[in-house]
Every structure is written in C-alpha cells, then in structure tokens.
Amino acid sequence: MGSESNNLEFLKEIGLGSTNIGSFINGQWKANGSSVTSVNPSTNQTIATVTEATVADYEEGLQACSEAAKTWMTIPAPKRGEIVRQIGDALRAKLDPLGRLVSLEMGKILAEGVGEVQEIIDMCDYAVGLSRQLNGSIIPSERPDHMMFEVWNPLGIVGVITAFNFPCAVLGWNACIALVCGNCVVWKGAPTTPLITIAVTKLISEVLEKNKLPGAIFTSFCGGADIGEAISKDTRIPLVSFTGSSKVGSIVQKTVTERFGKCLLELSGNNAIIVMDDADIKLAVRSIFFAAVGTAGQRCTTCRRLYLHESIYTNVLDQLAGLYKQVKIGNPLEKGILVGPLHTRSSVENFKKGIAAIKSQAWKILTGGTVLESEGNFVQPTIVEISSDAAVVKEELFAPVLYVMKFQNLEEAIALNNSVPQGLSSSIFTQTPNTIFKWIGPRGSDCGIVNVNIPTNGAEIGGAFGGEKATGGGREAGSDSWKQYMRRSTCTINYGSELPLAQGINFG
C-alpha cells in the first residue's frame, strides 16, 4: 500500500486488506481471474489488489443463484423486508468508512462519498416499508362469479451492472427494490472500483449469513466486459439493469432483448440548466456551480449545458467565473476541497481531447481548460462560450466542462433543452408560475428529471430516477419503479359453474 498505508487503516473496518478476492459466489469468496489493482485517482498509487472473477466463476455463481432464487421468492415479502432492514443497519454502522472508501477509490469529495452511502441506507429504509406494499389489484370483472386479479410476482434474478461514478448508490437503488420484490441479485461493479464492490457485498453477505439464508441470494463479481456480456446473454436473468454510456447501453439492450429479456437502462445525460430573466440569480448561480463542478463533472446528472436569458447573461456568467476561479481542487478527502480528480487517466485523456476539439472550433474558453500538474487526475473546471449549434454540445463529455449559450424566450429555451439526443435531467430557474407549469407540461422539457429552481443533480429516492431518449428510459428508486423488478400476472378466476364470455360473446 506504499506511502498511503497510514491513512488506509479504516479499510480494515470494512473487511478490506491489501489483497482481496473479488467475487462472492454461492456464499463464498472465491475468484480465479487475473489480479487487478485499485488505484487512488488523486495519486495514481495502488490502494490494494483484487482478484477478478472468470466466466467459469460466473457460471458457478449463477447456478447457485438460480437455486437460491427458488427459496428467496417464496419467503414472504415482509420477511424479505426485514433482511433489507438489517442490511440498512449494517451500512449505517459503517457509514463513515464506506463513505471514505467511495471518496478514496472513486475520487468524489467526502461529503458526496458519505452522501452516496446514505442513499443506499435511505433506499433500504424505503424498501422495508415497500415490502408490505407490493400490491396487486383486484379488478371488477364483467362476468358474474368471476374475479380479476393483477398479481405481482418476482422475476427470479436481477442482474445489476453499475458504473464507476456511483459505485454503490446505483447498486442500492436496484438491489434494495429487487430484493424485497423477491429477486436474487447478481452484481457486477465497475472494474475500477472493486474495493467498494467488495466492501458492500461483505456487509450484505454477513446479514444473509446471520439470518441463515443462502449467500447466493446476493452474488457479486469484480470483473470486466466478459462478465457483463455473460450477464446480458444469460437467459436465467430476466432483467438486466445497466448504468453506463448510451453506446454500451445500446449493445447491452440489443443483447438482452434478442433473448426477450428486459433492460433497465440508465445511460448518458447531457443536462441543461435554463436561467430565465426573472430567476433568483443567487440561487441559480449556486445551483449551476454545484451541478457543473460537483463530482468533477462526472455525474450522469452533471449540468453540461447552460442556457442564459440574454438579459442576465453577463451577470450570471461573471458570478460563475468568480466561483470557478476560487474553487479548491485537490484530495477529495481533505476538508474544503470541492473538486476532486477525474476517476482515471483515461478520463483525463478524454478531457484533453474534448478541450482540443473546442479549441479547434474556436469556441471561447472562459475559464479552466487545462490539466493540473500533479500525480493525480486533476483538471480545471471549465466554462466555454459556444453556439447551441455546435456539434460538441450534443455529446456527453464526462468531465467538468460547461457550455454556455444565450436565448431570448421560453419557447426557444425549451427547444434548445430538448435538442440533444439524451434526455436525463434538466432545470429551469424562474419565479413565474406560468413558466414553471409550461416547463413541466406537455410541451416542456422532454427529460425524465424536470427541475425548478434546483440543480440538475441531487435526486431524492422517493421519486423515479431516469431519463428518456438516449438515456434509455429506465426508472430506478422510488415511485412505482419496483414494478420493473416483478412480473405482472393478469388473473381471472371463475369460481362459479357457468362459462360466460367477455364482450358478451356467445360461442356454441
């Protein structure tokens, strides 16, 4: 662990060592793949090593998981809720070290690392209540002595493939709901955040063990594209929840739907904030700042496009530039730091390419635009004045680069917001009811998340999270997202002795 080891004592609290086995199969930690390193993005030094799973490991895991599914789905839902409650408590007890690990391995600042773990805990609490509310319906039948039921049954196994930027919250959104719904979970975490995958899996596995339940109910893999592909192709997995880019998501979707499986996709965002002339500018500026530089621009909900009404354009831009110039960049575990590193060296390369493209098209970089000299992956948060026609504006550059554009009226602003392939998140700042309700209405934002006077990022779990168009259409966390994790049976029961037919048809 080299020079960092002094500060890494806390990893022991959550079951991690300098070498770790990266998959949890049939209730056991075993992995036969290659050894990979987990790297601190602030220093590019190794934190620890992890043995990944092979496809054979995967197969062993899935066989056990399929078997466990038969047990888990017949346990009453409120009892499954009790298990999820205990998982929540286990996470709560380790909130601090887990949050630190997220910050350390992913690179987000500590407040966000802790917030991410808190989000799984919130999900657990929520799912406990839900375990008594996975309600079907009793629907009036048009036929005498008949009853119609809509029954929700478990799918069996849910595959969850998560991304580096929310290395555990996205698992939480999916697993908490999937588990109370009666499904086993097969998790493949991001290849670059294996320690988080392991630490979270350990806590969950301990709860299962304590309750004498098969460990295979929660099966987890550190691994790469081969594991992801195995999940996509596996007919034993009726639902694959995938978080990542639109490009990879499209491939996953094709693979899964070819076998008539279901996908829940959370793909690329390219999120805009609109500031109207009547906005609370102070609120808007704080929000844009958080939305654009938070998590070093690596949230799917990061604000990448900023549309300013011409009358407040200069004012907002000046205030923003002021904040950008003061923002502290550095070790995300350190107090006062607001911008940590990009997650990997390859992210830095992407940033460089993006900036080069911007420059080549002669767009104006107002502030930022350079990579910091350091051992870590630090880049400057960047503001670019650009035309809304520019091709780069349509793409998701996964870095803290904010494109700023001008508009003249609401209709134009909405059209611009809707003019990109992605449809995840969007915000407007205004104090006019008419504007608010148009924005959230039929001809308003076409995104899944449509905010007013708050940033594009920072969703609560009670609502459904996800986006439209190239963002993939999936919905996670709250509302009726749970229905995606179950199969719906429309049942008609004839308890009489006659056979009346629907639509009054007379047959024979």
Site for its own copies contains 182 (CB under 8 A): yes
Integer Cα distance of 312 and 431 in angstroms? 14
- Residues 257-276 binding its own copies (CB under 8 A) are 257-258, 260, 262
Considering beta carbons, is residue 362 or 505 the nearer one to its own copies?
A: 505
Considering beta carbons, is residue 19 or 409 the nearer one to its own copies?
A: 409
Would residue 300 show up in a list of annotated catalytic residues for this protein? yes
Site for its own copies contains 281 (CB under 8 A): no
Catalytic choice (52, 105, 119, 266)? 266
Site for its own copies contains 246 (CB under 8 A): yes
Considering beta carbons, is residue 221 or 482 the nearer one to its own copies?
A: 482
* Those residues with Cβ within 8 angstroms of residue 46's Cβ, 6 or more apart along the chain or in another chain: 1, 2, 37, 38, 39, 40
Considering beta carbons, is residue 356 or 493 the nearer one to its own copies?
A: 493
Which residue from 471, 500, 464, 497 is spatially nearest to 173, judged by alpha carbons? 464
Residue type for position 355:
I
Considering beta carbons, is residue 29 or 465 the nearer one to its own copies?
A: 465
Q: State the nearest-atom distance from the C-beta of 18 to its own copies, in Å.
A: 31
> Binding its own copies by CB under 8 A: which of 106, 379, 470, 482?
470
Instruction: Give, in order, the Cα–Cα distances in Å from 200 to each of 59, 169, 205, 340, 478.
Output: 22, 10, 9, 23, 21
Q: State the nearest-atom distance from the C-beta of 106 to its own copies, in Å.
A: 15
Beta strands in 250-327 (DSSP E): 262-266, 271-275, 303-309
* Those residues with Cβ within 8 angstroms of residue 492's Cβ, 6 or more apart along the chain or in another chain: 141, 146, 147, 148, 149
Catalytic choice (176, 181, 300, 303)? 300
Residue type for position 221:
F
Site for its own copies contains 449 (CB under 8 A): yes
Q: Which stretch binds its own copies (CB under 8 A): 299-307, 384-392, 396-404, 432-440?
A: 432-440
Integer Cα distance of 332 and 104 in angstroms? 7
Q: Which stretch binds its own copies (CB under 8 A): 3-11, 13-21, 379-387, 453-461?
A: 453-461
- Residues 95-154 binding its own copies (CB under 8 A) are 111-112, 114-116, 118-119, 122, 125-151, 153-154
Give burial (CB, 10 Å; 0-12/13-18/19+) of 466: buried
Indicate the pairing of strand 35-40 with strand 464-465: unpaired
Considering beta carbons, is residue 13 or 125 the nearer one to its own copies?
A: 125
Integer Cα distance of 193 and 176 in angstroms? 20
Please state, as a whole number, how many other Cβ atoms lie within 10 Å of the Cβ of residue 245.
Answer: 16
Per the DSSP assignment, residues forming a β-bridge with 220 are: 24, 187
Would residue 168 show up in a list of annotated catalytic residues for this protein? no
- Residues 2-31 binding its own copies (CB under 8 A) are none
- Residues 371-390 binding its own copies (CB under 8 A) are none
- Residues 388-427 binding its own copies (CB under 8 A) are 421
Q: For 87, which DSSP code?
A: H
Which residue from 229, 73, 61 is spatially nearest to 161, judged by alpha carbons? 229
- Residues 33-72 binding its own copies (CB under 8 A) are 70
Kindly determine how many residues on this chain lie close enough to bind its own copies according to the rule CB under 8 A.
Answer: 125
Q: State the nearest-atom distance from the C-beta of 89 to its own copies, in Å.
A: 8
Name the residues annotated as catalytic. 266, 300
